[in-house]
Amino acid sequence: MVLACCFRRNIFWRENPTHWIIEGFLKEHGPLPTARYSYSEVKRMTNSFRNKLGQGGFGSVYKGQLQDGRVVAVKILNKSDSNGEEFVNEVASISRTSHVNIVRLLGLCLDSSKRALIYEFMPNGSLDNFIYEEKNPLKVARHLDCKVLYDITIGIARGLEYLHRGCNTRILHFDIKPHNILLDEDFCPKISDFGLAKICPRKESVVSMLCARGTAGYIAPEVFSRNFGAVSHKSDVYSFGMMVLEMVGRRKNIKAEVDNSSEIYFPHWIYNRLESNQELGLQNIKNEGDDQMVGKMTIVGLWCIQTHPSARPAISKVMEMLESKMELLQIPPKPFLSSPSTSPVHLSFWLYKLMSFVFALSACFKIPFLPIYDVDAHHEPLHLVADIDRGLGLDFIAFPMRRSAQ
């Protein structure tokens, strides 16, 4: 009988190696400040997954209710070995946090190959539901007042400052975007989705990464190419800045168009309008106070997306800028990537667009994206490398990158 149990355990290990890796992680980190549920309990709390709230790259989210009556959001992760890392990242990072601007993880489920994460429920959904112009004439766009958007911006900055400086360990999110900002009944913002997060000691400001991570349009240039500098907390600042510019421009940064329908990089569109004192897209500017708040958000957003990390403010400085007077803020230099002109030293606009597209492709099919350096000594045109492993499919997408002269 003992041999039979061991045999079954070995089969289960071979079929579910990720399960045991996660179990080892949970055991190593001791008791977590979250409840653990079986899959049957998760099914019961979601009423057999009847109320679906949304779907993302890692799984689906359902509305549920705990036995004590609390309403929750339950993320059911897709059945994929790659989600083991996402599960561990989420639990390891968010279980260490306690802040009004960070969504709370209330429980988890690890039941064979089934994995779920249980969060506090946010009745107003995610920020992306409120900041873009509605293209569908059958739907009514939901606009937020400038003061609400401004308070949301400050709340997100406070949450990021807590992750970067307020925890026992520094947590880098790497996926700050409107979809990952949840809003409670009072529109208080909460940073969510820590599946791509990295944890490092507070004294370390630079992190090592084997492959790029994030969402196309919000990824800092140094995540693509180390020519721009090291990956650090300033990479989150870049994503934050791009999101803030979307809030004031009311459009997605990778779909901006000018009047003649020619394509233009979104920050370039924002910068030109700031220089010429044109409206950006917000329709609820009622007085000078609103105009001041929008102006501060715009200037801060442009500072945050400076090409080189050293030129970006830390998130603590961002908070100071947002809470200072408009006339005290200096207009930042135009970010290099805001121009489609090419340069022999830096990444061009079109290369950035191409890399964003390829990164989105790699994320869609869950293919690792690897920036590769020093492989183009003869100045050959940039080319993509796809490694095909014995006909099983695409293993990774790599960008050969030539380092700048030292």
Q: Give the tens place of pLDDT for each residue, 266-283.
A: 788 888 888 877 777 666
Return the higher-pLDDT residue of 104 and 227.
104
**223 and 255 co-located in one domain:** yes
Token look-up 């045991």 returns 20
Average pLDDT, the chain: 76
DSSP state of 50: T
Q: What is the pLDDT of residues 70-128, one digit of tens each?
A: 999 999 988 764 556 778 778 878 877 889 999 999 999 988 788 999 999 999 999 99
Of residues 286 and 331, more confidence is placed in: 331
Question: Which of 85, 120, 155 is at the close of a domain?
Answer: 120
Question: Do 305 and 330 belong together in one domain?
Answer: yes
Other CB atoms within 10 A of residue 405 CB: 5
- Give the up-direction half-sphere exposure of residue 389: CA atoms within 13 A in the CB hemisphere: 7
The reply to whether 116 and 133 lie within a common domain is no
Q: Which residues are annotated as a binding site for ATP?
A: 75
Report for 24-33, 48-57, 263-272, 378-387: range of highest mean pLDDT? 48-57
| Mean pLDDT, residues 341-359 taken together | 49
Do 164 and 235 touch, CB atoms closer than 8 A? no
214 or 261, which is more confident?
A: 214
- Answer whether residue 353 is part of any domain: no
Residue 313 lies in a domain: yes
pLDDT (mean) for 218-233: 87
Is 346 domain-assigned? Answer: no
Q: Which residue has the higher pLDDT, 202 or 182?
A: 182
Number of domains in the chain: 3
Residue showing tokens 């000018």: 258
Domain match, 223 and 319 both: yes
- Could you give the angle at which helices 17-28 and 83-94 cross, rounded to 10 degrees? 10
Angstrom distance (rounded) from CA 98 to CA 120: 13
Same domain, 186 and 273: yes
Which residues lie below 8 Å from residue 14, measured CB to CB, with a gap of 6+? none
CB 245 within 8 A of CB 298: yes
pLDDT score, position 299: 94
Pair 172, 281 in one domain: yes
Task: Note down the domain range covering 380.
Answer: 358-401
Write down the pLDDT at residue 139: 57
CATH code where residue 258 lies = 1.10.510.10
Query: How does residue 192 score in pLDDT terms, banded at 50, 70 and 90?
Result: very high
As annotated, the active-site residues are: 175
- pTM comes to 0.78
Residues 194 and 175 in one domain: yes
Judge if 258 and 373 occupy the same domain: no
299 within some domain: yes
